[in-house]
């Protein structure tokens, strides 16, 4: 089956994306079942429970508007506990129960495991959050789609915004976790600084030091003082979780946060400004899978934010993971509508051709490697006497910073 390029807007009120038949018809028909793999317990449970909000809102909006092709949408949610083996077991169980469309996994390690079995299980898999570059490069699988920005796009978007907004911050260092993604991220970020500063700031950039730390480090004094001895005006962060929070709390205590002009964070989403509050760096820019405060918001975004406020009891800083999880459901709905089918191959072909209006904006999947192309969200925050405030937000067009597709071949840095 060949499908022409088309725009499909899958919202609760639009009639061009999902076939919105009467509610009675949607209830009477057999449901369309989409499996969801996410960590709802264990060390990564916050990730899964945040994404769960997004997929459930999308399901409820679609069903309230009449369903997909006149059929109600059902989510079959499974807890992978953040364990790759459990994620694979859950994928097998979903397949055996007749589910062939899956959202997940949330984490890169789980995706690496599940992607190995999806063709044998006749599944379509769509991750809404895993940025690991290799998922659409050396381990590319035709049945796999990535709705999130990849790491390459995230690092390059940060570098571009730094060159555009901080033309006088020309000396940079970095803190990274001592793992492959940390080292790769620094290579991507620093390479992009060298490209974008001459282009946008009309200046060359100087790279001072990248400091790698092992997971579980509790005392960062050595690393912080080492950075303070450099002339770095800006610092790139690619540390994670508790390590990230510990590092930057100590950086404030020891004076680094006040010495440097800007920190750009490629890993923490909103966690760093929310947790640090008034003790954050002078200015902090964060990559976000989705920004709830986007001033360029479309109706999908507006409707999502309104419902998120209800379900989170007016959380002032809704998780950026909610948006792409919500979008993954919309993408499947759009593909099913376009294909007039839930069959695996038909949905794959449809996903390769549709454009979908999500809360993040209009997105499409690149046919060659199934990487999502859409706006990349960033937000800048500054500390205040009683917390922090967002200073600005930026959308970088993904098509302008994404790498060339090389399905089956590792990304060359």
Do 86 and 124 share a domain, yes or no?
yes
Domain presence at residue 409: no
Res 28: pLDDT: 64
For residues 380 and 285, the answer to whether their CB atoms sit within 8 Å is: yes
* Residue 413 falls inside a structural domain: no
Residue 335's CATH number: 3.40.50.2300
Q: Are residues 134 and 191 in the same domain?
A: no
Nearest Cα residue to 143 out of 116, 162, 177, 175: 116
Phi, psi angles (nearest 5°) of residue 374: -170, -170
Cα(172)–Cα(181) distance, integer angstroms: 19
91 and 115 together in one domain: yes
Quick one: 241 and 190 in the same domain? yes
Q: What is the pLDDT of residue 296?
A: 85
Shared domain for 38 and 133, answered yes or no, is: yes
Q: What is the pLDDT of residue 413?
A: 83
pLDDT, one tens digit per residue, over 5-31 is 443 434 333 333 333 333 444 446 899
Token pair of 193 as six digits: 């600084």
Q: Which of helix, strand or coil describes residue 107?
A: coil
Residues 228 and 306 in one domain: no
Q: Which stretches of the chain drop beneath a pLDDT of 70?
A: 1-28
Overall domain count for the chain: 2
Q: Are residues 221 and 138 in the same domain?
A: no
Question: Domain span at residue 237?
Answer: 152-288+376-400
Please report where in the chains the tokens 């454009």 appear, as a residue. 355
**Given this model, what pLDDT does residue 17 score?**
35
The interaxial angle of helices 344-351 and 322-339, nearest 10 deg, is 110
């Amino acid at each position: 089956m060949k499908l022409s390029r088309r725009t499909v807007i899958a919202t609760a009120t639009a009639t061009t994306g999902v076939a919105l038949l009467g509610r009675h018809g949607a209830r009477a028909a057999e449901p369309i079942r989409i499996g969801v793999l996410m960590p709802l317990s264990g060390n990564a449970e916050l990730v899964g429970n945040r994404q769960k909000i997004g997929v459930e809102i999308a399901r409820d909006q679609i069903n309230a508007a009449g369903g997909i092709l006149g059929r109600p949408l059902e989510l079959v949610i499974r807890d992978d506990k953040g364990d790759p083996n459990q994620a694979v077991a859950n994928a097998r169980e979903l397949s055996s129960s007749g589910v062939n469309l899956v959202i997940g996994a949330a984490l890169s390690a789980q995706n690496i495991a599940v992607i190995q079995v999806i063709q044998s299980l006749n599944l379509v898999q769509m991750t809404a959050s895993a940025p690991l570059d290799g998922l659409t490069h050396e381990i590319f699988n035709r049945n796999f789609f990535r709705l999130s920005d990849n790491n390459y796009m995230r690092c390059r978007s940060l570098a571009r915004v730094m060159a555009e907004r901080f033309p006088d911050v020309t000396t940079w260092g970095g803190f990274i976790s001592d793992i492959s993604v940390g080292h790769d991220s620094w290579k991507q970020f620093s390479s992009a600084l060298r490209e974008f500063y001459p282009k946008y700031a009309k200046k060359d950039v100087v790279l001072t030091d990248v400091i790698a730390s092992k997971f579980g480090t509790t005392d960062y004094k050595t690393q912080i003082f080492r950075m303070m001895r450099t002339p770095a005006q800006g610092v790139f962060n690619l540390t994670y979780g508790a390590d990230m929070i510990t590092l930057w709390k100590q950086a404030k205590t020891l004076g680094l946060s006040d010495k440097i002009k800007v920190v750009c964070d490629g890993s923490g989403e909103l966690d760093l400004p929310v947790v640090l509050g008034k003790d954050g760096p002078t200015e902090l820019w964060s990559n976000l899978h989705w920004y709830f405060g986007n001033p360029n918001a479309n109706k999908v975004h507006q409707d999502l934010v309104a419902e998120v406020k209800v379900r989170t009891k007016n959380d002032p800083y809704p998780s950026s993971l909610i948006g792409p999880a919500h979008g993954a459901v919309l993408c499947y709905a759009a593909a099913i509508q376009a294909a007039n089918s839930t069959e695996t191959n038909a949905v794959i072909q449809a996903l390769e051709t549709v454009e979908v209006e999500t809360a993040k904006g209009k997105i499409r999947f690149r046919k060659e490697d199934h990487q999502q192309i859409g706006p990349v969200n960033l937000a800048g925050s500054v500390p205040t006497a009683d917390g922090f405030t967002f200073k600005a937000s930026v959308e970088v067009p993904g098509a302008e910073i994404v790498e060339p597709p090389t399905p089956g071949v590792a990304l060359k840095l």
